[in-house]
Amino acid sequence: MDKVLIVDSDKKNLDRIEKGFKELHHFELLTAQSGKSAISILKKTKITVLISDIKLSDVDGVQLLAYMTRNHPSTPCVVMLEPGKPRPWFTDRTGHEDVLYYLEKPFEFGALASIIFVGLNLKDEGLTMKGMTLKNFLPLIVLSRKTCRMEVDSGSRKKGYLYFDTGVLLDAHYNNTTGDQAAKDMAKWESVSISFSKLPTDKKEQKIKTKLLEIAGAIWKEKSKPKPAPASRPPLKAAAPAAITGQSKLQASLSRHVSILRTIKGYIGLAILSPDGNILAFDVVDGSVDFKGFSKEFNNMFAQCSKTVSQKGLDRCTGLTVHTKKAVIIMMTSDVYREGNFRFVGIMSPEGNGFFMQSQLLRVIPQILAPA
Would you state the pLDDT for residue 272? 93
Q: Which residues contact 293 (CB under 8 A, 6 or more apart)?
A: none
279/314 same-domain check:
yes
Of 234, 265, 298, the residue that ends a domain is 234
State the DSSP code for 26. S
CATH code where residue 329 lies: 3.30.450.30
- Please indicate, yes or no, if residue 240 is contained in any of the structural domains: no
- Please indicate, yes or no, if residue 192 is contained in any of the structural domains: yes
Of 234, 268, 300, the residue that ends a domain is 234
179/281 same-domain check:
no
Would you state the pLDDT for residue 246? 43
CATH code where residue 80 lies: 3.40.50.2300
**Rounded (to 5) percent helix, strand, coil in the chain:** 35, 25, 40
Would you state the pLDDT for residue 99? 83
Parallel/antiparallel/unpaired status of strands 49-53 and 77-81: parallel
Q: Tell me the pLDDT of the chain (372 aa) as tens digits.
A: 789 999 999 898 888 888 877 766 678 899 999 999 999 999 999 999 999 999 888 888 899 999 999 999 999 999 998 888 888 888 765 444 568 888 888 877 777 877 887 777 777 767 788 888 999 999 999 999 999 999 999 987 799 999 999 999 999 999 999 999 999 999 999 899 999 999 999 988 999 999 999 999 988 876 545 444 444 333 333 333 333 334 588 898 888 888 778 878 788 999 999 888 889 999 998 777 888 878 888 888 888 887 887 778 787 788 888 889 888 999 998 877 677 788 899 999 888 877 788 888 888 888 888 876
Would you state the pLDDT for residue 306? 79
Amino acid present at 83: P
97/190 same-domain check:
yes
200 within 8 A of 166, measured Cβ to Cβ: no
Parallel/antiparallel/unpaired status of strands 3-7 and 28-32: parallel
Would you state the pLDDT for residue 57? 82
Nearest-angstrom CA–CA distance, 50 and 6? 6
Of 234, 261, 277, the residue that ends a domain is 234
Q: How many domains does the chain have?
A: 2
The answer for 35, left when phi > 0, alpha when psi is -120 to 50, beta otherwise, is alpha
Would you state the pLDDT for residue 163? 97
pTM for this structure?
0.64
230/253 same-domain check:
no
- Residue 1: which domain range? 1-234
266/146 same-domain check:
no
- Please indicate, yes or no, if residue 265 is contained in any of the structural domains: yes
Amino acid present at 227: K
149/269 same-domain check:
no
